Amino acid sequence: MMDRDPNQERNSTSQKSLRLMMCVAVLIVAWTILLPALARVPSVAAHIRNLKEQKIHADAMFYTELEDIPRLNYYASDEPTPR
Amino acid sequence: MTASESQTEVDPKPQGLHEDWLLVAVGIATLVIATLLVQVQVDPDVPAAKPTVVNYASNWFAKLSNWDAQPIDAFFSDPEKGDRTFLGVKLFTTWLVIGCVLLPIALFRRVSWLQFLLGYTGMFALGTLAFLMAAQETVKYLNFEYVLWALLLGMLINNTIGIPKWLQSMVIGESMIKLGLVLFGAEILFGKLVALGPPGIFTSWLVTPVVLITTFWFGQRVLKISSPSLNMVISADMSVCGVSAAIATGAACRAKREEISYAIGVSLFFTAIMMVVQPQFVLWSGMDPLVGAAWIGGTIDSTGAVAAAGAVLKEDGLAVASTVKMIQNVLIGVIAFAVAVYWTARYGESEGSNRVGWIEIWHRFPKFVLGFIGASLLFSFLPVYTQYDGLLAETIGKQITSQIRVWLFCLAFVAFGLEINFRELSKVLSGSKPLLLYVIGQAWSMILSLAMAYLMFGVLYAEKIKEILAK
């Protein structure tokens, strides 16, 4: 088996690191500049404001991750529905 | 290094005891400890008084706050209300608790203490970063959940510098998912089934399995999708409840991590569109808002997105949509169990024979599913959990197990990302059939759900539902 050239290996490692750093830079720009700018677009801002006011976690995966939202109880007739 | 090679390298499971049994044992132990940490107290002098809950673990888990332009805001408890309490201590206790839960798996796999400490801390840091990305307001309110960012971070690392050696010992996504699912069982309470009576059961529990089975059949017979597990994961996440259903059924049918990741990506993309478009369509069409809300609850994949879309139809719409979705959520336990049984019998390890005996089925059956369904049954029916309207079970599920489960899922998807290389993923992405399956299945689901929602909420039980809402 041929030995790898250490210089080539070092170059390849630094290239990989550079690629990772470039990806990280793209993420930083997207999350700190682009997404906040999108949040200020009037329609998006209104959507966010509405959900915040109603304490709705739009990213909830399951109902246990939602805050207490009004739910219905078909069989309970005495107590009023929580609002 | 391909994903399969990396799997062999970092996944040295010892022979003998099936790891699933260990995961079930760790899950049950965690649930027992969680039960001991929560007390429901009733004042004996005031018989009519409502019971109160004391949760000794209420400050143990960190949840990053929403942030707009300053990521640092995520690490303070509620910056919008001026509460600048740093979440450092909570992050440390979360790290400690999740570490304790994962330690038995690491020891079972003969990972040294130092490797565990380094690997787990690295994974936890990446998980925290994924939660930070998901907590950005635009991302959060468009329903792009943390699993997507966990996956992305893992993939970025694997496809640039590769998996660092010190991280390799804790790249155990499959085990984390299974353990998370055992804990998840405690959140699936069958009592929720009757929340809306017959209309809820018909809309959620009749339409959903019909859509799931017919979509899977369509994928196999008409589209001829080459991977049945990819077909099943897409069918389940589209018909049941998005990401959580993809994870549960994916684990039950032993889907590849690339397949689960693909299904989740497609589901989140379409959910982001549907949560905006569907309620607007209900308003524009002049549809009865309650029928529209039930339709939204039955069709939009993700639970949070259903609540967001239902809220557009005012308070009653929010209540109906989220309750229908909650009932559908409960179905996930039954579906995962049924898929595990079907898969074991139909697609066993010895290819070529479709009929296998019960003993063989038992050997092949993914045992963690028993822990998952067992936890669900115990928390749904054991008197200690069901008394006081299930207050104890609800508190444990909402305040303890869901917190641990969320972190386990997050770390699992970081691990999945670390094992996926773009070449492997492109094989799954190639061809339009899986996407077509999702779109056709979703269209079918929308038609059936609308018909059932109209029949139940617009005709048969319209008066009864309005009566409940008027209380």
Q: Collect all residues of chain A within an 8 Å Cβ-Cβ radius of residue B277.
A: none
Average pLDDT, chain B: 88
Mean pLDDT, to the nearest integer, of B57-62? 90
Q: What is the structure's pLDDT at B49?
A: 76
Q: Collect all residues of chain B within an 8 Å Cβ-Cβ radius of residue A61.
A: 145, 147, 242-244, 302-304, 406, 409
Interface contact B471, partner A, CB < 8 A: yes
B140–A57 C-beta distance less than 8 A: yes
Residue B352 has pLDDT above 70, yes or no: no
Picking from B254, B206, B248, the residue whose alpha carbon sits closest to that of residue B230 is B254
Interface contact A61, partner B, CB < 8 A: yes
Cβ within 8 Å of A, B 227-246: 241-244
Residue B351 has pLDDT above 60, yes or no: no
B308–A83 C-beta distance less than 8 A: no
Residue B354 has pLDDT above 80, yes or no: no
Mean pLDDT, to the nearest integer, of B83-91? 88
Residue B3 has pLDDT above 50, yes or no: no
Interface contact A47, partner B, CB < 8 A: yes
Q: What is the structure's pLDDT at B79?
A: 65
What does pTM read for this prediction?
Answer: 0.88
Nearest residue of chain B to residue A63 (CA atoms): B326
Picking from A51, A31, A20, A57, the residue whose alpha carbon sits closest to that of residue B72 is A31
Q: Collect all residues of chain A within an 8 Å Cβ-Cβ radius of residue B397.
A: 64
High-pLDDT (> 90) share of chain B, %: 56
B242–A71 C-beta distance less than 8 A: no
**pLDDT tens-digit readout, B215-234:** 999 999 999 998 999 999 99
Mean pLDDT, to the nearest integer, of B92-121? 95
High-pLDDT (> 70) share of chain A, %: 77
